[in-house]
């Protein structure tokens, strides 16, 4: 069991804890650009390794065509996408996160102004598997 990482939204009314983060993945698709204002940096976490520690009642869900996307209804921070077995948790909300980028997906749709500055693998669409 690795250490517990804590995350919180911009207004600090929603807090959560994460264990055993599996990967740090970037999605550059046009939907994630609109969801985040840039690319989505998401930490892949098994559903059972994510739990709220505060403010779960403030969490609202937007049923996007890809996955339910959860956000703080007070400040609007993107919290996580529910991909079933795993959650895709917004990396920027976890100040103590210490993970190297794992991969970039949907790079074919990347904003022209976004420069990828690491050597992680890039996939034009979704990564295999």
Using an 8 Å Cβ cutoff, are 38 and 114 in contact? Answer: yes
Q: Token pair for residue 45?
A: 């976490």
Q: Which residues partner with 26 through β-bridges? A: 41, 104
Q: What does the binding site for Zn ion look like in residue numbers (CB under 5 A)?
A: 9, 11, 13, 27, 29, 32, 72, 74-75
Specify the residue, 1 or 113, whose C-beta has the smaller distance to Zn ion: 113
Min separation Cβ 1 and Zn ion, Å: 28
Min separation Cβ 22 and Zn ion, Å: 17
**Which of helix, strand or coil describes residue 48?**
helix
Specify the residue, 29 or 89, whose C-beta has the smaller distance to Zn ion: 29
Q: Is 106 left (phi over 0), alpha (psi -120 to 50) or beta?
A: left
Specify the residue, 5 or 27, whose C-beta has the smaller distance to Zn ion: 27
Specify the residue, 3 or 61, whose C-beta has the smaller distance to Zn ion: 61
Q: What is the DSSP letter of 122?
A: B
Of 95, 117, 104, nearest to 24 (Cα)?
Answer: 104
Min separation Cβ 29 and Zn ion, Å: 3
Min separation Cβ 53 and Zn ion, Å: 14
**Which of helix, strand or coil describes residue 105?**
strand
Residue bearing tokens 């937007």 = 62
């Amino acid at each position: 069991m690795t250490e517990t990482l804590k995350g919180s939204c911009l207004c600090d009314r929603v807090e959560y804890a994460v264990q055993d983060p599996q990967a740090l993945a970037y999605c550059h698709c046009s939907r994630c650009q609109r969801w985040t204002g840039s690319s989505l940096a998401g930490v892949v976490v098994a559903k059972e390794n994510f739990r709220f520690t505060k403010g779960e009642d403030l969490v609202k869900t937007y049923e996007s065509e890809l996955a339910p996307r959860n956000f703080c209804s007070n400040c609007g921070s993107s919290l996580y996408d529910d991909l079933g077995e795993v959650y895709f948790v917004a990396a920027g909300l976890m100040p103590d996160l210490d993970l190297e980028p794992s991969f970039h997906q949907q790079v074919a749709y990347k904003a022209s102004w976004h420069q990828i500055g690491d050597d992680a693998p890039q996939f034009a669409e979704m990564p295999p598997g």
